[in-house]
Amino acid sequence: MGGYVSGPGGVAAKLCGVPIILHEQNAVAGLTNKWLAKIATRVLQAFPNAFPNAEVVGNPVRQTLFQMPSPEERFSHHGEKLRVLVVGGSQGARVLNQTIPKVVSQLADKLEVRHQVGKGAVENVSALYGENASKVKITEFIDDMAEAYAWADIVICRSGALTVCELAAVGTPAVFIPFQHKDRQQYLNAKYLADVGAAKIVEQIDLTPDILINYLQSFTRDELLQMAVKAKSMSAPLAAQRVADVIIENAK
């Protein structure tokens, strides 16, 4: 599955004649996976074009995500207020923690917001929300991501590989704020859904409260539903099974 730690193990496997099955999670391959791909028995990838001629299988994600009601069923039960889920990951995302309270200050009566802020950030982010803090569900972490994704009309988040695939599995549209990195990894992950109309991308350098306010005010129910359906169409429910099958096929 890549990462620096897989390098020595891959070399050892090659020296011992053990098959190497490589899976690239992101839309652009990391340095270790680029090197290991040269000696791998099989190369799999979550997104197209990380490697030429590699089989696209998606990313294995929790099966509970695929068991959520369809976008059509979920959206039929949502109320007038726009449900916004903000996900910053385990460490939180400072730029989201600083920006979203300013968005809510302008749209508080039009939104229902759940904001996952990261470890130790609840008090500081609550202070930024001020009088609107009581209107927002602010948590360090989210225990049931499947339920949270299914609850939301739109998710504002980073675009790590698994986040993108989890959103597709449930069928939930997103506004992605990719983490800035020289290889544009998260931006290219986000394009997987954005290119089919299932998500929007705002580069962090361009992010302002007004940009998010404009998006949230412009989304119609029908548009969000269509985005959700498109996201669902990009999911890979058999990813884990396919990876397992390839491993078994090549096991000695």
Give residue limits of the domains in the chain: 6-59+237-250, 64-233
Listing DSSP states for 154-174 in one string gives EEEE---HHHHHHHHHHT--E
Q: Would the pLDDT of 220 be above 90?
A: yes
Rounded distance between C-alpha atoms, residue 233 and residue 26, angstroms: 19
- Please give the pLDDT value at position 52: 93
- What is the mean predicted confidence (pLDDT) over 161-187? 96
- Please give the pLDDT value at position 91: 66
- Please give the pLDDT value at position 226: 99
% of the chain residues with pLDDT over 70: 98
Classify residue 140 by burial, with Cβ atoms within 10 Å: 0-12, 13-18, 19+.
middle
CB 31 within 8 A of CB 7: no
Q: Would the pLDDT of 233 be above 80?
A: yes
- Other beta carbons less than 10 A from residue 118's beta carbon: 20
- Taking CA atoms, 139 is separated from 83, 121, 153, 206, 249, in Å, by 16, 9, 19, 26, 44
Q: Would the pLDDT of 225 be above 90?
A: yes
Q: What is the mean pLDDT of the chain?
A: 96
Higher-pLDDT residue of 175 and 80 is: 175
DSSP-derived secondary structure letter, 251: -
Q: Beta strands 174-176 and 42-45: pairing type?
A: unpaired
Instruction: Decide yes or no: CATH 3.40.50.1220 for domain 6-59+237-250.
Output: no
Listing DSSP states for 73-86 in one string gives HHHHT--SSEEEEE
Higher-pLDDT residue of 183 and 98 is: 98
Listed residue (58, 20, 57) closest to 39, CA to CA: 20
Would you give the end-to-end CA distance of the chain in angstroms? Answer: 20
Rounded distance between C-alpha atoms, residue 166 and residue 61, angstroms: 7
Q: Would the pLDDT of 13 be above 80?
A: yes
- Residue range 101-117, pLDDT digits in tens: 999 999 999 999 999 99
DSSP-derived secondary structure letter, 51: S
Give yes or no on whether 6-59+237-250 and 64-233 have one common fold: yes
Higher-pLDDT residue of 89 and 170 is: 170
- Other beta carbons less than 10 A from residue 201's beta carbon: 18
Helices 94-107 and 122-129, axial angle in degrees (round to 10): 30
CATH number of the domain at 64-233, please? 3.40.50.2000
- What is the mean predicted confidence (pLDDT) over 126-147? 97
User: pLDDT-derived band of residue 2, with 50, 70 and 90 as boundaries?
Assistant: confident
- Please give the pLDDT value at position 3: 77
Rounded distance between C-alpha atoms, residue 180 and residue 187, angstroms: 8
- Residue range 200-214, pLDDT digits in tens: 999 999 999 999 999
- Please give the pLDDT value at position 93: 87
CB 25 within 8 A of CB 46: yes
DSSP-derived secondary structure letter, 27: S
- Residue range 46-99, pLDDT digits in tens: 999 999 999 999 999 999 999 999 999 999 999 899 999 999 987 668 999 999
Type of residue at 100: I
- Residue range 26-49, pLDDT digits in tens: 999 999 999 999 999 999 999 999
- Please give the pLDDT value at position 182: 81
- Other beta carbons less than 10 A from residue 203's beta carbon: 14
Helix (H, G, I), strand (E, B) or coil at 23: strand
